[in-house]
Amino acid sequence: MSRRILISIAAAALVACLAAPALAQPSPPNLEVRIATSPPPHVRHERIPPRPDRDSVWAKGYWHWEGSQWNWVGGRWARSEDRTHRWVAPRYKREGSAWRYEPPHWSHQQVVEGDEYRRWKEEHRR
């Protein structure tokens, strides 16, 4: 092969390697406060598998409000991109006859009030 072809192949391989991590990144989670019409069920007992590495933290299973029901999300080992970030467990707080739900997230991520929650809050402010 000529030197020119080898350089072109090497350049293409380098670009592909640099682009691969960007493609592998998961999309950001939906970090919106939601309002639930019922309290979350009791937490399920989970067996924690061995830690895969020293930088992983156990993210306990939790109840996630989706649409009009609670869905169980099993626990898992999670790893932050930055060792200074901490895992924040979900929060459930009674508001009148409903429940405010804040999904779990890393400490550097921002949880915002979703449209559904804002509408509910306005309707129940009176």
**Digit-coded pLDDT (tens) for 82-106:** 989 999 999 999 999 999 999 999 9
CA distances from 77 to 52, 81, 108 (A): 8, 14, 18
What is the band of 28 on the pLDDT scale with cuts at 50, 70, 90? very low
The whole-number pLDDT of residue 5 equals 55
The whole-number pLDDT of residue 125 equals 78
What is the band of 77 on the pLDDT scale with cuts at 50, 70, 90? very high
- In angstroms, the first-to-last Cα distance of the chain is 78
pTM: 0.71
The whole-number pLDDT of residue 2 equals 63
